[in-house]
Amino acid sequence: MRHRNLVHRDIKPQNLLLKPAPPQELARGHPLGVPILKVADFGFARSLPNAMMAETLCGSPYVLSLVLVAINS
């Protein structure tokens, strides 16, 4: 996502999916028993070039960092 300048802005456990590695991945050297991580729900995502900083507060309120809550209160 970084090489495409894409910021997800709603990373939480519900948006992280684990998929068993298919035989092709195992043949290429993927460790046996280690699932493949997939990121889901790009509803809050946006393009953000390296020189910019995201200023909009968005995402799921119940998983917000306490630091963000304190800064924006």
∠20-23-28 over CA atoms, to 5°? 105
CB 45 within 8 A of CB 39: no
Whether 41 sits among the annotated catalytic residues: the reply is no
pLDDT for residue 61: 61
Structure tokens at 62: 């119940």
Q: Average pLDDT across each block of 10 residues of the chain; the chain has 73 residues. List them in order.
A: 74 90 95 93 73 62 61 62
pLDDT for residue 60: 62
pLDDT for residue 31: 96
Domains in the chain, start-ordered, CATH in brackets? 2-71 (1.10.510.10)
Helix (H) or strand (E) holding 47: strand 46-47
pLDDT for residue 65: 62
pLDDT for residue 34: 96
Phi, psi of 55 (to 5 degrees): -115, -15
Query: Which is the catalytic residue, given 10, 27, 47, 50?
Result: 10
